[in-house]
Amino acid sequence: MNIKGDKVDIKIFRKTFEDIHNKSFSAKIYDFIKQDVDFRVYITDTLGTVIFDSDNGRDEGKDYSQWIDVRRTLRGEYGARTSHDITNDPYSSVMYIASPIIVKGKTIGVLSVGKPTRTANRFVENSKKRIIFGGTIVCLSVVLIGLLLSRMVTKPIQQLTAYAKSIRDGKKVSLPKLGKNEVKELGEAFEEMRDALDGKKYIENYVQTLTHEVKSPLSAIQGALELLKEKVPPEQQSRFLSNIHIETERIRTIVEKLLLLSSLESKKSIQDVERLNINEILNDARKDMIPVFEAKRILFESKVDKESFLEGDRFLIRQAVVNLLQNAIDFSSEGGKIIVNIINMPDGFIELTVRDYGPGIPDYALNKVFERFYSLKRPDTGRKSSGLGLSLVKEVALLHQGSIELKNLSDGGAIAALRLPARRIKTIS
């Protein structure tokens, strides 16, 4: 800086800034292109009068003694200020920092350098957008990760809950796939507990019910045998022997059906699955039962859809159809009629209905007919069956994830409706 006496020679400043303004340049700072020098320099004398202004001499000759940067610097203090070049325009702020010009220990003026904040504001605004965008991405990522983690945790729990509710409702379901975590171990523990409880309850129920059901025919057989030891007329001997045969056949039927029913109840799903034509199964069952129909002179009528296919176990479904037909025959009067319909339902199920014209079901028995060993007296003989036929049908329906319903009709008789899915329904997974 050139000093003449106690005054600053400002010619060198003018020359320097003229050269700066006349030169063109371009500099990229992050996302901004800078093409000019935007800082401002001004010099004041000891009175605070501007003797040089780099902004083309804009304020030269003006009194700046009241500006904080100049006033404090002239007093030997730290001088700085921020002012608006345009009144009430926050984006026109300029920050000034002043320094005294000292010659031989004496302050002869003040040099102030001002830097507009608009460039910094642009950086701030741009950074703010980036921060907001980045923060949004981070938040969305956190939410997404949270949802994924929640899904990984809650899905197995939901599956296990659905499994437990299905067991509660008596449905045949298998333990769902729960991955490899603590929930899987919990599910396996549930499964083991279920098997243990079911096994214990199963044995208790069957011992009690089997003892009760076999006790009656055994007593009848024992009584007939004791009477046969005595001398009785031939016609009575024939009747006692017939009773022994009937009760023996009843015990055999109970044991066979009980073995089949127990195997069904212990299953959680069917294994031998094949594509079946329910019409063919019905025809086979009817042909085998022709002697039974003819013995009571019962007329058989049927109405079936041409294409009625489903996926399931042939043997079990045939057993269910046979038991439904036998139940209808037992409650039909001699010379009566049984109507069987097979319909492809819109909901993807096949419905097989067996309708008889017998006395119907007493109201007190409507909710009990599917219980094990529950049986009603046959109207023609007064005898009861094993009480396992409809229970077997129910188990077959549950294994195939279907349903069975038996109800009375307003014009007489009863109708059984067996609903089975046309396609095998997957277990909970």
For the chain, the straight-line distance linking the first and the last C-alpha, in angstroms and rounded, comes to 86
With H, G, I as helix, E, B as strand and everything else as coil, classify residue 17: helix
pLDDT score of 214: 62
pLDDT score of 423: 77
pLDDT score of 427: 45
Distance CA 366, CA 110 (A): 109
With H, G, I as helix, E, B as strand and everything else as coil, classify residue 405: strand
Domains of the chain (ranges, CATH numbers)? 2-116 (3.30.450.20), 270-429 (3.30.565.10)
pLDDT score of 211: 58
Which stretches of the chain score pLDDT less than 70?
A: 1-6, 25, 27-36, 90-91, 119-123, 152-153, 167-217, 219-220, 224, 246-247, 250-271, 373, 379-387, 424-429
Buried b (16+ CB within 10 A) or exposed e, 3-36: eeeeebebeebeeebeeeeeeeeeeeeeeeeeee
Runs of H (alpha helix) within 118-181: 118-168
Contacts of 84 (CB under 8 A, 6+ apart): 90, 92, 93, 94
- What tokens appear for 188 in the block? 């396996």
- What tokens appear for 146 in the block? 């949270």
Distance CA 337, CA 322 (A): 16
CB count in 10 Å sphere of residue 422: 19
Strands 7-9 vs 274-277: parallel, antiparallel or unpaired: unpaired
Alpha-carbon distance values, 416 to 276, 339, 369 (Å): 21, 11, 11
pLDDT score of 428: 40
At 372, phi and psi to the nearest 5? Answer: -60, 135
pLDDT score of 429: 40
Instruction: Give Rg (Cα) of the chain.
Output: 50
Identity at 66, one-letter amino acid code: Q
Enter the pTM of the model.
0.47
At 405, phi and psi to the nearest 5? Answer: -140, 140
> Token match 């333990």: residue?
175
Q: Cβ(376)–Cβ(356) under 8 Å?
A: no
